[in-house]
Amino acid sequence: MRYYIIAGEASGDLHASNLMKAFKEQDADYDFRYWGGDLMQQQGGTLVRHYKDTAVMGLWDVLMNLRSIKRNFKLCQDDLLAYKPDVLILVDYAGFNLRMAKFAHEHNILVYYYISPKLWAWNQKRVKKVKANVDRMFTILPFETTFFQKHGVEVQYSGNPVLDAIDNRANKDETFEDFVSRNHLDNRPKVALLAGSRKGEISYNLPDMLQLVDKFPEYQFVIAGAPSFEVSEYDSFIENKDVAVVSGQTYELLQQARAAMVTSGTATLETALLNCPQVVCYKMWGGAFTDFIAKKILIKVPYISLVNLVLDKEAVLELFQKDFSIEKLENELRLLLDESARRKEMLIDYNELHERMGGPGSSSRTVQLMLNSLAQDGKYNAVDN
């Protein structure tokens, strides 16, 4: 089977790589071509473009990079047609992938979507594009499945790949002492900073996070380095502050940290599943104007973090755009670092989250569902594999 896979950021690279690993275990005749990152590349096949060369965020960044976006899209179109895959597998990355779904559908290429675009969160009219251009949707959150079923999309729920990634993480039994020794850190308790995986996110969010460093001298603040960032690229943000950076060890850092400051996205779910108390803080271009547009016009759900969406309540504090302030961030972090009722309540909520999310194994289940669907679509013969 010839699989063309498109993932556009660090989380997509992670989950697509686990999907590729499961395909290799279940399909002896696999061949991969993809847009993604280092983790996908480790699984073999051909990397066409790295996500660090394609990712943009926010309206302003999109406008400033329109020419580059158009070039990338044309490259992907031509490459897809030349490769002639049995199936195109799209992983999140809605802005790019929904357009590629339409193009592939118009050229009679089978389209599967894994980790759905957040249509339930904003601009729900786009679900019509999914119904028209995506042959099968594979969701990772129960409420997403219900949403797509309601709109008549062919959809299957296979569990959440974050659980696989966490279960398979390196150094899962490591002690605090081993972690700090291995990374040349000091012995103070840690505060983890997860400022995003894209340059735009980091430049908007990390400077504010770093303003808290001097307010908590008894803690060592540690940045979870993004895969697409060199450690040296954080120097301009850190300057002379007492801050460390560890790269490629987000899970190891979270399992040792006393608390974390996290931008919205998959990282909020990962932080909760690793039982690290957190405050969600997210800023982007536009300030109060973007806040108004987002909350009054675009965003159709009550929360921005996956933790709160799954639990259907504000289990973790969300500081978004105009609601964000250094004072609010400091106050919440102090509660989470202490043995406060707030910290204990959050950890109880995390237990409920674990129960709702279930256990690991979603990547293998997803591949099995995809192969079953490919057999139904006349693309795969299980007897030959």
- Beta-carbon contacts of residue 64 (< 8 Å; ≥ 6 apart): none
Q: What per-residue confidence (pLDDT) applies to 384?
A: 56
- C-alpha 153/C-alpha 128 separation (Å) is 9
Q: What per-residue confidence (pLDDT) applies to 117?
A: 82
The tokens for 21 are 């690993």
Q: What per-residue confidence (pLDDT) applies to 282?
A: 84
Categorize the per-residue pLDDT at 300 as very low, low, confident or very high, splitting at 50, 70 and 90. low
Q: What per-residue confidence (pLDDT) applies to 26?
A: 96
Name which residue leads in pLDDT, 40 or 304.
40
Least confident span in 30-34, 60-64, 230-234, 240-244? 60-64
* Domain covering 2-164+360-384, topology: Rossmann fold (3.40.50)
Q: What per-residue confidence (pLDDT) applies to 385?
A: 55
Least confident span in 183-192, 291-300, 306-315? 291-300
Q: What per-residue confidence (pLDDT) applies to 66?
A: 64
Q: Do domains 2-164+360-384 and 169-357 have the same CATH topology?
A: yes
CA distances from 379 to 28, 157, 376 (A): 14, 21, 8
pLDDT at 295 over 50: no
Residue reference for tokens 């997210």: 282
Q: What per-residue confidence (pLDDT) applies to 56?
A: 53
Q: How many Cα atoms occupy the beta-carbon half-sphere of 235 within 13 Å? A: 4
Q: What is the pLDDT of residues 42-59, one digit of tens each?
A: 999 999 999 987 665 554
Q: Where are the domains of the chain?
A: 2-164+360-384, 169-357
Name which residue leads in pLDDT, 201 or 251.
251
CA 296, chain centre distance (Å): 25
pLDDT at 296 over 60: no
Categorize the per-residue pLDDT at 291 as very low, low, confident or very high, splitting at 50, 70 and 90. very low
Least confident span in 43-47, 277-281, 356-360, 372-376? 356-360
What would be the CATH architecture of the domain defined by 169-357? 3-Layer(aba) Sandwich (3.40)
Mean pLDDT of 364-382: 89
pLDDT at 292 over 50: no
Mean pLDDT of 248-274: 95
Q: What per-residue confidence (pLDDT) applies to 133?
A: 97
Mean pLDDT of 209-228: 95
pLDDT at 70 over 50: yes
pLDDT at 8 over 60: yes
Q: What per-residue confidence (pLDDT) applies to 286?
A: 47
The whole-model pTM stands at 0.74
pLDDT at 180 over 60: yes
Q: What per-residue confidence (pLDDT) applies to 294?
A: 44
Question: Nearest to residue 180, comparing CAs of 101, 244, 241?
Answer: 244
Average pLDDT, the chain: 89
pLDDT at 223 over 80: yes
pLDDT at 124 over 70: yes
- C-alpha 22/C-alpha 7 separation (Å) is 16
Q: What per-residue confidence (pLDDT) applies to 55?
A: 60
